[in-house]
Chains A and B, each alone.
Chain A
Amino acid sequence: MELEQKIKGYILENYLFTDDPSALASDDSLLDRGIVDSTGILEVIMFLEEEFGVSVEDEEMVPENLDSVRNLVAFVQRKRAAA
């Protein structure tokens, strides 16, 4: 839960500029909502690497890993388990 709160909080704060958790559902697509664009996705990766110490490989840059809060949480958990 803490992981989800952190990731969701980051997206809310930095892309939707709000602290209202109802502004973003965990399954919402960041692409469909227009939340990240081609530079925004780099910011997300930078955040993951700095905040959670994971390293995002090129081949991991797929929507299944990065395109919603739920996918991001699962991705970070998998990376940590593998580390």
Chain B
Amino acid sequence: MCGIAGILNLRADYPVTREELEPMVGRLHHRGPDAHGFHCDGGLGLGHARLSIIDPAGGGQPMAGPAGDCWIAFNGEIFNYLELRADLIARGHRFRTRSDTEVILHLYQAHGDDFVHHLNGQFAIALWDARRRRLLLVRDRVGILPLFYTEQRGRLLFASEVKALLPAFDAAPALDPEALDEIMTFWAAQAPRTPFRGVRQLRPGEMLIAEHGGLHTRRYWDWLYPPEGGDYLNGSDDALAGQLRELLEDATRIRLRADVPVGAYLSGGLDSSALVGMIQAGGITALRTFSIGFQDQDLDETGFQQQVIRHVGADHSRVQCRAQDVGAAFPETVFHAESPVLRTAPVPMRLLSGLVRRQGFKVVLTGEGADEVLGGYDLFKEGKIRQFWAAQAGSAWRPLLLKRLYPYLNITRGQGLEYLKRFFGTGLDDPRSPFFSHLTRWQSTAQCKLFFSDGLQATLRDGGSDPIARLRQSLPPELDGWHPFHKAQYVEARTLMAAYLLCSQGDRMLMANSVEGRFPFLDHRVIAFANRLHPRMKMRALNEKFLLKRAMRGLVPEPVLSRHKQPYRAPDIPAFFSDGAGADYVEELLSPEVLHRYGYFHPARVQRLVEKIRRGRAIGNKDNMALVGILSTQLWHYHFVENHHRNFHGVTEGAVGRP
């Protein structure tokens, strides 16, 4: 993968210079350490940091189009470029390189803005049509690659990461309070919003057109499902499983295309095991795989990893991740993520991509997306049980099914039913709500806002900030007619996968070490197929990812097919506090003086949370999320606001100071 950056004059009338682009591209060096390239054309400048994967000799960027009047800076991969290229050649197009980048330019010449519908891949594209003086910015369908933009002094600035925009800021950026409100509800700011006030991001499946001094956006793709009771795919379980397997094998096959060796992440769960099985079935015999190991037995999946490794005979490497490693790597992780986070889970992902890079690999395939596309999460199961319960709200035994999902609730047997009803009964009277499955989680997460400072609370109250109402307004109108399971899938894919998993925990953690991730389960053909499956093909009774398991028989060891799904988690509080004492930077950033100076959180309340942690009494999920959320917000401010000048107007490339 790579990084892109650029400037377009909207109202400004002085030319864009290479000297302006260089510091922007310099901040993206980790995304593309192999080469930097620039193209300036009056009021337009494109920059590119390259990680060479396909056609290392001929694929340099920015690249000119066939007629010389179009220029592209492109971050990503077009996996079906060979087919597209052959098709274009048959229709008379002539190519100068073997790169996928050139294919995009020819497709644009042939189809205009509709070129995007032909692409199977992950991409952030800046395409300058010099003849029409028109700039097109495009982000891939599901949001694998990021693309940020802002306006400064009559100019549009855009880049793969916000840190590339910041050298053009005169003053330090400010935190958008409504973004923090969203993070403390959904775990992430929702596009186009970002944590940086005035900086926006393209939504997944969206293009931005800049022409005649103005900007407008157009959605070209979204997760869409058939109306409930409508046009689902027909076929027996085995027939549909066969079709799914064929699609997934092809999605995997085209993602192995590269001029450098390709490895794979292996968690020991169903998705990555299936992926590794498919890679081997596709004829890759000497596969290199990578995983994270945890000291904490509750988090570690080494046992299942070993079974898969033996089954497929992969050559495996593992990075051992201790709690103190997570704490030590957290500050720089927040710098890369560019956002407050509520979990430390991105940290091990960054340590893992570091291992991949040290082993000489630039590309890994991962199982990311299978849970969203094929229905794997406990949240979907919980939603299904609650729908079943809502259909007969007075039932005494229907809610007891929830105990299957949360074994620790077993201590509430007997009279615990009342508590079950209260914990999981929220919104039971509105089973058609698009947020039926998510509201409980969001309300629990929103408890973090208790720690907001009086000033921040007043700002949000006065501005009438309401993240859930904002999200509701942005939903597609068709959604009201979908099956509840599909509503849950849609909301999950947008609010959590695109906004958090693929960004803070995905692209940014891979790219921090110049490693490209590829995600066969997020091939848009797989999504289109899966979205037309009846929900019972995804969740059969309470058996999650039913059809995927059926499709992977024989390819994945039986114990992995039938194991209980384990959510990926990393150590939270223990990463920062050991025997009641916080790491130095933790103590400093959570001190009343610094909390007061930054202004986001209530110092006395945070002190009480810290005291609870020191006493070893912070055991719940809420306390963990609150601590990580507060600490990462403080780090965000430290990196991007307090040290704005040092980090973004100095001469260093991407270096980051430590608190």
Contacts and interface: CB of A to CB of B under 8 A. Distances in A.
Interface of A: 13-14, 16-18, 31, 34, 37-43, 58-63
B605 A18 contact: yes
A17 B419 contact: no
A68 to B, nearest CB: 13
Contacts, number: 70
Given A18-B605, A43-B617, A43-B620, A37 B415 contact: no
A63 B422 contact: yes
Contact of A58 (B414, B446, B609): B414
Interface stretch (B220-228, B360-368, B405-413): B405-413
B417 to A, nearest CB: 9
Per DSSP, are chain A's interface residues mostly helix, strand or loop, or mixed?
helix
Contacts of A59: 414-415
Given A14-B612, A17-B608, A60 B415 contact: yes
Contacts of A58: 411-416
15 contacts: A13-B612, A14-B617, A18-B605, A31-B423, A34-B447, A37-B622, A38-B408, A38-B419, A39-B620, A40-B620, A42-B411, A58-B414, A61-B414, A61-B415, A62-B419
Enumerate the 5 nearest inter-chain pairs by beta-carbon distance, A residue then B residue, closest first: A17-B605, A39-B620, A17-B608, A58-B414, A59-B414
A59 to B, nearest CB: 5
B415 A62 contact: yes
A13 B617 CA distance: 11
B443 interface: yes
A37 B621 contact: yes
Contacts of B443: 34
Contacts of B196: none
Contacts of A41: 419
A13 B604 CA distance: 11
A13 B619 contact: no
A39 to B, nearest CB: 4
Per DSSP, are chain B's interface residues mostly helix, strand or loop, or mixed?
helix
A28 B389 CA distance: 27
Nearest to B615: A14
Contacts of A39: 408, 619-622
Interface string B590-605: 0000000000001011
A13 B608 contact: yes
A38 B415 contact: no
A50 B608 CA distance: 20
Contacts of A40: 620, 622
B595 to A, nearest CB: 13
B406 A38 contact: yes
Given A14-B612, A18-B604, A63-B418, A37 B423 contact: yes
B415 to A, nearest CB: 5
Contact of B444 (A17, A37, A61, A62): A37
Contacts of A34: 443-444, 446-447
Contacts of A17: 450-451, 602, 604-606, 608-609, 612
Interface string B621-655: 11000000000000000000000000000000000
A34 B609 CA distance: 17
A14 B609 CA distance: 7
Nearest to B443: A34
Nearest to B411: A58
Contacts of B408: 38-39, 42
A37 B446 CA distance: 12
Given A17-B605, A42-B408, 5 more contacts: A17-B604, A17-B609, A39-B619, A61-B411, A63-B422
Given A31-B422, A38-B406, A43 B619 contact: yes
Nearest to A66: B419
A37 B414 contact: no
Contacts of A18: 604-605, 608
A61 B416 contact: yes
A14 B415 CA distance: 26
Nearest to B606: A17
Contacts of B620: 37, 39-40, 43
Contacts of A37: 423, 444, 447, 620-622
> Among the interface residues A14, A17, A41, which one has the most CB atoms of the partner chain B within 10 A?
A17
> Among the interface residues A14, A38, A39, A62, which one has the most CB atoms of the partner chain B within 10 A?
A38
Contacts of A31: 419, 422-423
B396 to A, nearest CB: 14
A51 to B, nearest CB: 12
A39 B443 CA distance: 15
B423 A38 contact: yes
B418 A62 contact: yes
A54 B245 CA distance: 57
Interface in B396-443: 406, 408-409, 411-416, 418-419, 422-423, 443
> Among the interface residues B446, B609, B619, B620, which one has the most CB atoms of the partner chain A within 10 A?
B620
Contacts of A62: 415, 418-419
> Among the interface residues A13, A39, A62, which one has the most CB atoms of the partner chain B within 10 A?
A39
Contacts of B606: 17
B451 to A, nearest CB: 7
B136 to A, nearest CB: 45
> Among the interface residues B409, B418, B446, B609, which one has the most CB atoms of the partner chain A within 10 A?
B418
Nearest to B413: A58
A49 to B, nearest CB: 12
B192 to A, nearest CB: 30
Contacts of B451: 17
A28 to B, nearest CB: 14
B185 to A, nearest CB: 13
Contacts of B413: 58
Nearest to A38: B423
Nearest to B621: A39
> Among the interface residues B409, B605, B608, which one has the most CB atoms of the partner chain A within 10 A?
B608
Nearest to A41: B419
A34 B185 CA distance: 14
A18 B447 CA distance: 14
B357 to A, nearest CB: 38
A15 to B, nearest CB: 9
Contacts of A43: 617, 619-620
Contacts of B414: 58-59, 61
A31 B408 CA distance: 18
Contacts of A16: 450
A16 B605 CA distance: 8
